[in-house]
Structure 1
Amino acid sequence: MAKRAFIILALIVSLLLSGLFIPVKDQASAFQMQAETIGSIQYDPRGGGGILHYYSDGKTVKYLANLNNVPADAKWVTFMPLESLHGGNEFYFSLDGITTERKQIDFTYYSELPAEARWFTISNFDGAFGEKKAIHNQQYTYSVDGVNVLSGPEVPANALWTTLSHYTTTWGGEDKTLNYVNSRVPYKMNVDLVQDVSIHSDGLNPIYAKEGTEVTLSFTSLPLLQNPIVTLAGQTVPVVSTAGGVEWKGHVTLNALHSEGEVPFTITYQDDADTKTVMATTDGSSVIFDRTPPEIDLALSTTDWTKDSVAVRGQARDTGSGVEIQKWEQGIKDASYFRNNGNSVAGDAFQAGSNGWYTWYAKDCAGNEAVRTIEIQNIDRMPPSLILESAPKGWTSAPVQISVSAEDIGSGVKVVKWTPGKQSESFFQNGGGTAITNTFEVTSNGIYTVYAEDQMGNGVTEEIMIQNLDTRPPDIRLTSSPILPTQGEVMITADFSDDDSGVETRKWSKGQREADYFLNAGTELNGASFMVDDNGFYTVYAKDHAGNEHVQSIEISNIYKIGSSVKLSLASSDWASKPMDVQVEVTDNGSGIAVQKWAAGHQPVAYFNTGGTPFAGTSFSVNDNGEYSVYIKDNAGYEEVATIKVVNLDTEKPIIADPVLLPNTWTNGEVSVTVTVQDNSDIISMQKWSEGEQTEAFFRNGGGTAFSGGFIVHDNGAYTVYAEDAAGNGAVRTFYVSTIDKEIPDIQLRSSIEQPTNQNVTVTADVYNTRSPIVTMKWASGERALSYFETEGHNFNQSFEVELNGWYTVYAESAAGNKGIGIMEIKNIYKEVPVIQLTSSPSVPTQGVVTVTASVYAPIPLIERKLAMGQKETAYFHTEGDAWTEQLEIFENGWVSYYVRDQAGNETVKQLEITNIDHEKPVITLLGESVIILTQHTAFMDPGATAHDNLDGDLTNRIQVTGKVDVATAGEYRLRYSVTDRAGNEAEEAIRTVIVRPRQEEGGHPNPSEPSSPSPDSGSSPSVPPVIDKEEQKEASGSKEFPPDPEDPPAKVQPPQPLLGMEMPAITDISGHWAEPEIRWLYEKGLLQGYPDGTFRPKQPVTRAEFITLLVRCLELEEQGSIKFSDTAGHWADQAIRTAVANGLAEGYSNLVFGPNDRITREQMAVMLARASQLTGVSFGTVTDKPSFKDQDSISVWAVDQVSAVVESKLLKGYPDGRFLPQGFATRAETAAVIYRLMELLERDE
């Protein structure tokens, strides 16, 4: 099928290419050249194949349908085989007439064929028609001058045409050589007498010329060209021929009188009676004449002042040959300077870095030169000058004025700026600084920077130092002594400082004063300090030499005239179990308390000089009843003592007895707790309890639940009881409850086996989540409620065993009376054995194979499936057996065993006996004699026969008898007995011969041993030849021959009797031929025709059109069909082809191509024969034993079934060496034999 698809694709591509062809006006030429190519491939010693043809019009590759009609615009023609090598075919060609090349192109990409090639031919392909065998020893036939034809292994690049003309290959194991004489086909192709034309100048660039340049026109021609007239640049020039008159040249030197532009030329010559003129080159060359130098325009990127380089922009124009070179140089230069010097221009400009003259140079492609100069005067890179002055020069607290003088001799000052500190030019250029005109003021000492910039951005900086500004007033620091509270005077000390101009005036005054107060008041301070005896504010004044003033105040508050006092009280008058706080109330005189102490007992002031306990705050705590004293001393030195008595402290805790718990055994209910408390004061003010282990603080902070006598608890755990007396002494006691169990038992069930099993399963119960021990465990099948186990269920310990799948319930009860159940489903117990079902088909006797189909029913997945031939038991498959297959083909009778095993381990075997395969033929036994002799007009009754089969038994009633006995006509008759059993085995045919002798008349003595035969004038019809093995091996497919099989020689056939009133045709070349009887019989029927010379030519191949015409004629099909192929229009077999296609006998390679002249292959003939049989209702039956040829894989996929059918029906046979040769070409003799057999098959079926 792949090969057929390839051929169809090739033809489709061909038709598409041909369909794209657009006719153009036929180009008249001076010479119609005869060329050659291969029309069809013919091999020595035998064989060959069909091909396609393509041509190029110089732009497009197109399909060529007829070599007798090569289009006038064809540049090259080549043949194209239908089979290609892996990766495509190789092609040999020249594009320019100077070099040659070879290229491999895949068939899919034939659009890559070089349409513009000068000549083109295929150079390597599959010479074995589908076997992918390359060709070797290639030789080519070609012509260089259109007259002489040459051959060789290489083709010169300047050839006019070429074709592959010799090669060798191997096909079907046999060496083949191309028979070029029988394969070649001449064709005519137009060619111009003038071939290659080119033009060039002797200048530096051959495509341009200026004044004084010589231009040369060169062309080649065929030898037939005579006396061409050449004009060049508008004037006639002499031409000189060389190389035997096929190479020509003419020259002209250009001057100012010649027109600028492309140099024109003409070549005029005689073409028979016509005058032809060539005005264009073949290689696309031309010469442009240009005698005008370029024009140069110059401009500056700017005429304004700039400190950057100035771009000089130039535009050089040349309308002739175009500008080729542009350069520049500083200074004024002439054109000669730039021939070896100068700078190349990048783009359309160059950068001038300084003022001065510059020159621009341009030269066009023809060599004409020009220069242009320009002057630059606007580059400014000199910064301005700066002078700085400050005023005043002495100390001052007012701003200092700085004067700035800036000048620029170039583009002029653009901006002046200043800024404090030292700064660079970039600071100002980036936007820093303050712009000024010529002065600015500063208010602080330091360095100042001034910047000036001209119009081009050239900048300069200058610095100035200012040191005479004093704007800071003097600094005054005041201190007092002593700083602690005192009953005497305080000394105030003033510390003055001024780092600039220095302190000039110092004064002080009582109270808070401003600086102007001291202009006419205040006390001069001659020293560093002064004394004060009252609390209050005091102010000190200072002024420096720059006139800056400053005042500073200080407050005196540590002079005290009276002492402090103390008063005591208790925090509570109620009973208290913790230390009692003594409240201390101190009245301070303002100096602050320096010492604060307490002591037990009534103590004097002197005691506290060394004794007593210091404390802070407003209270202190005491742990015992008694009298206590408090002592204070303030910072001014005043002392005082106060006393108080404490009588209400109690620190003993209550006593809590062990709580009593009821009940004291396991319970799933509550527990009652009884508590007894005793205290030395007999007063219990509070009782509480709480869960957990708690401290006294927990209960004092509000935790716990109040109770009296006892309380109830519901959970296990720690509990704490608390009791408190009237003094607030508290006690706690912790106890534990552990007999409460309310948890429902958590029953976890697990099975001993998780995987499928055919054994019992053990269920194990694990009980969790219970405090009290488990006292009862039961199980029951099914899903059960708790109540079920009050009277039912099976007692067990830890585990129990089950034998069936299903739900199971387990019950557990704890000592506290809590009950629970657990449920589990068991679903992995499988004790059901898998079931194997076996069926065989067919179930009736058969010659072929019996297919056993196996299926299995199993409730769980299978893990092992096997089969074995013979009767096998289960144990066999534990170590033996073949892989299971759903369908098994059985070729002989016998037993087959199938085995399966599931995941649970269940296994089974199913056996089946095959008894209906029958290869034995039935046996026919004639009843009576095999030869019976009768006298004419004597009654005859067939004695009959019996038939027996090994399986079907008696088949006598199924015997078929063919033939008849005409007792009225003397002669020899044969009755043929045949029978077939149900398996399709056909018995050996039994033949009974009946001889009817003529009745003896007077004077007649017939020969009793030789029956008379019908004669042409006896009035009887001619007999139809029997089916005979014609042994096609004598002529194999037209291209391959094999010797006849000595073990199976062709049967000798008596030629058929001629029709009444006709004489035997005179065919001269079939006498003794193995197919002579069939040929003559078909010839007499008018179904076959010979050649006018009286020959039949039995070995000649048959085309598709010829075979289809014969087939349509034999089947007597009515003319019909509307489909038309592009290659059958006007063909002599067009109507027969359309009829065959309409009846389904044949198909085209595509909807457009049929290939009527292609030789028909044996597999194509087989397909058409099979379709003819189906069309006429003849059935070949089921092909039970497909033939197997050595070259079976070579049969196309689309023909496999039909080849099998026609071989089985004996319409076609293979060859003695075991091959069928599907792609072999059928001969006329083979065609006659198969058509005869088809006719006989049709007649027998009727």
Structure 2
Amino acid sequence: MTDDGKIVSRPLQDTALTLTATIKRGNAAASQAFAVNLKGTSLELHGTWKTADGQPYSSGAWTNQSVTGSVYASVYGSVYGAGTDLELSTDNGQNYKSYQSNSNIEISQEGVHSRLFRATDAFGNKTLLPLTVNIDLTPPVITLKGEPTANLTVGTAYVEQGASAADNFGVDGDVVITGAVDTHTAGTYTVHYNAWDLAGNRAVEVRRTVIVAKAEDSSDSSGDSGSSGSGGGSSSTSGNSGSTTTQPASGDKPVSLELAVNAKQATKGSIKDAVTIEVPAGALPSNGTIRASILSAKETPSTGNLRAVSPAIEFTSTTGHTFNQPIALTFHYNASQLLPGHQAAVYYYHEQQKRWIYIGGTNRADGTVTVNVNHFTKFAVFDYQPAAFPDLAGHWAAPYTDRLVGMNVIQGFEDRTFRPETLVTRGQFAKMMAEALGLQASTDASGFADDLQIPDWAKSGVAAAVKAGLIHGYEENGRTWFKADQTITRAEMSVMIANALSSGGGFNSGNQTNAFRDAASIPAWAEAAVNASVSAGIVSGYEDQTFRAGQTATRAEAATMIYKLLEALKL
């Protein structure tokens, strides 16, 4: 910075500056000092991309629509001035042509398209922004294995032969097989085969007809076994899988469901007027049985100040309590018990912490609420008063902040705003982590040399995080300091997140930092933590392939990382 106040270069990391303004009148002078934070990192490129239906598009994703967008260069939060040259390469950087800032580019042809944008500022600094657009307009094709019609006699096992799917660029998962075949009851059954490609194109459904006929010498008693899903429950699956619903007494509602699941096939079951469970193919690690039981009031854990609007339902599985991918649960509830302005929200019960934890869910017009869960335990629907923040409407972080607000991990401000771009301090992030993980509040001193400088509202959270091994502080002059009011960096957040992952069983970190162009700027003390956090999908880099370890984080970024941490820990 020159003496006349002009900034002639930009630091690599955020830099604290003290600016002094002096007013002189004759021999008298008065000065006032101002503390400012000069935003770090060099020239940046920003791109905005949307599909034909107006939805945001992320580089590298597959779509079946055209993609349109534009790019501009910025620094210090505003559009970069004269002297910045923008260029575009369509051959991975071998040749460039001039590109006008914010001019729209449309990509509509099927295939993999690579674009590389380059900006050069007046000082000769350069930065790159890669873009990959993957477009697939052709749906996959399903081919049955075996004959399209199968003939069986009552009592003979039906063996599913499956189907295969072929696509220009790849199929999203296995062929989904649905439809029940009851080999104990004569009749004609249909098994459905569906598949989608990576871009969301759906194949034309293929069907197999299974005819179950009575054997010529069989007696009518063979039909006494009944069909799966009797007594008020139902299932939709393939092969010999099915469901059994148990009733407490004649005419009463069913209280439990046993659902046999083939791990390679999608399965659906329900307890009438209580819950529906949808298990996608591949969700369970192996074949097994899922059981759902409606709990009596005596069996239901204390709900404290929460107002229940449904019975509690406990889910268990013979394959374990966690899954490879989320399972959808749709709950019925008593809408008349909701307070005005409130809505239904699903909570789960944490057995170790002895508390109900907010999940949320999607409220539907038919009076049900649906959530995707990553583990089994006890669930119930409660009355919930949602918080509406105008500055989160349409914000990219809104899906992540909703759950943390419901969990009381993070709150809004008195003016009913969330302020997603406000920076987060080390004390604030430590408190958020302690709340999200349900760490027991501690009245012990943190042990840091600056313990007295930790705000009262953060003391118990910081002490709990220290006790859990999430934070260790900085060693300076033979003493350990926490620095609660210092804004937290991405490297520091990664360390706390990695420590939480380690306490939850660890994570195979691999070697992720080499993928970042600025890997050399990641501090040695944070490198292993960055590896673990990136491997777990909690922290990611930027579109220009940088990590920016020293960059400070906002409330939106902090909420997103904690949300993803909870998902990784199956909490």
| TM-score tier (shorter) | 0.3 to 0.5
1 or 2, which has the higher strand percentage? 1
1 or 2, which has the higher helix percentage? 2
Q: Which has the higher contact order (CA 8 A, sep 6+)?
A: 2
- Structure of greater Rg: 1
* TM-score, normalisation: structure 2: 0.44
* TM-score, normalisation: structure 1: 0.22
